Amino acid sequence: MKHAMLLDNACKNYEEDLVLYYYGENNGAERRRVEQHLSTCHGCKSFVDDLNRVLPPMAEQQKMPQAFWDNYYRETVAKLEEQNERKNWWRTWLTPVRGWMVPAFGTVAGTVLVVGLLFGKGDLSSFVERPSRKVPQEIIADSNQLEFFRTMDMLESLDKLEQQDGTKSELQNTHSSRVRLYKGVA
Amino acid sequence: MVESEDFRDEELVEFCQRGQGQHFELLVHRYMQKAFHIAFGFTRDTESAKDLSQDAFLRAYTRIKQFDGRSSFYTWFYRILVNLCLDYARHHSKVAWESLDNLRDKPGAERQFADSRSQPEQEAIAGEASRKASETLEAMPNKQRTAFMLRNDQGLSIADIAKVMKTTEGTVRVYLHRAVAALRQSLVEFV
């Protein structure tokens, strides 16, 4: 076992190239240059040897049982289908409205419109909503209030009649007193 | 599932773009393991890795019409996946980095850092090396870790990693160099 303190250092200006060399990422000329350097530099050779020991075990992946992958695949496909259904919900909704139904709906709608126009004597104004006449709230009275107003009207009428009666009798009194006075003078 | 495995990625994408979405299932089948392992590299959690990688497939499927063929399908898909993973890493800054040692204990998982020694000694050293590797990866900036995992674990070329990470090849080389140097520094004592 090596001790970290005794780690051989690679040449700083070669270290990155050595990593690329390990992964096979240098082109021909670079590769030859690195190989040439490795043949003479103990520190860099040690660096590459260390990578060859350290990195391969790290690349080993956790091996999962086949059942895991079968389940994974099934789940993913189910999720894809579910997503597809969500995306196309409107198509499902419109599925019954197929080919022949579109002109049929058109014909029915047209017929209804024509019949409506004929029976409505071409008066389209009935289709237009009239603005409702707005009545102030205070004017809207309920039946009790109407009864009250009627009673008030009647009382007013009675007052007038009484007044009229009073005026008549007064006139009559004046007239008879004048007759009496006249007779007395005569 | 679509039967033929003979279709190239680009052909399958074309089918999907023409509305034959069932062909996407073949792409899922082709890339699910790689996608899962990339996501696992970020999450260190099986369920989260599964969710993230499946999300990437769903996004790719939704955006399939936007794929213009300027890059390969897997580069385009990896970009979606890596963006999701980086987003995950940002929101889960304290990722529960399961020790690689634990992975080693799971069935079929093999991480052997010291296979020339006796069994108990080998296991102890491998365990310690795994713990160190986890710590080092955890301490790395996300982009360095991404570049390293895409190169070391997935075998993507530097040019492809640059496309996936939307950066220059020079930047990827720097990320890779720093990541590798850090790992060498922390792990070399175990080999």
pTM, two decimal places:
0.62
Contact A77 B1 (CB under 8 A): yes
Range in A21-25, A45-49, A62-66, B171-175 the model is least confident about: A62-66
Per-residue pLDDT averaged across A1-10, rounded? Answer: 57
Contact A15 B58 (CB under 8 A): no
Which of B 17-36 lie inside 8 A of A, CB atoms? Answer: 21, 24-25, 28-29, 32-33, 36
- Give pLDDT tens digits for B53-67: 999 999 999 999 999
Neighbours of B142 (CB within 10 A): 15
Query: Which of A1, A62, A84 comes nearest B190 by C-beta?
Result: A1
| Chain A CA closest to residue B106 | A62
Q: Which is more confident, B140 or A101? A: B140
- Give pLDDT tens digits for A30-71: 999 999 999 999 999 999 998 998 888 888 777 889 999 999
Per-domain residue ranges of chain A:
8-59, 153-186
Contacts of A79 in chain B (CB under 8 A): 54, 57-58
Kind plus residue range of the DSSP H or E element containing B168: none
Residue B106 banded pLDDT, cuts 50, 70, 90: very low
Select from 3.90.550.10, 1.10.1740.10, 1.10.10.920, 3.40.50.1100 the CATH code of B1-94.
Answer: 1.10.1740.10
- Give pLDDT tens digits for B118-138: 666 766 777 777 788 888 888
Residue B99 banded pLDDT, cuts 50, 70, 90: very low
The third-level CATH classification (topology) of the domain covering A8-59 is Arc Repressor Mutant, subunit A (1.10.10)
> ipTM score here?
0.77
State the number of CA atoms in the 13 A half-sphere of A97 facing the CB. Answer: 10
Per-domain residue ranges of chain B:
1-94
pLDDT at B96: 45
- Give pLDDT tens digits for A142-186: 656 667 767 777 777 777 777 777 666 565 665 555 555 455 544
Q: Is B176 on the interface with A (CB under 8 A)?
A: yes
What is Dmax (Cα atoms) for chain A? 174
pLDDT at B54: 96
Q: Which is more confident, A21 or B110? A: A21
How does DSSP assign chain A, residue by residue?
A: ---GGGPPPPPTTTHHHHHHHHTT-S-HHHHHHHHHHHTT-HHHHHHHHHHHHHHHHHHPPPPPPHHHHHHHHHHHHHHHHHHHHHHTHHHHHHTTS-TTHHHHHHHHHHHHHHHHHHHTTT-GGGGSPPPPPP--TTT---HHHHHHHHHHHHHHHHHHHHHHHHHHHHHHHHHHHHHHHHHHH-
Residues, chain A, total?
Answer: 186
- Which structure tokens are listed for B113? 């850092």
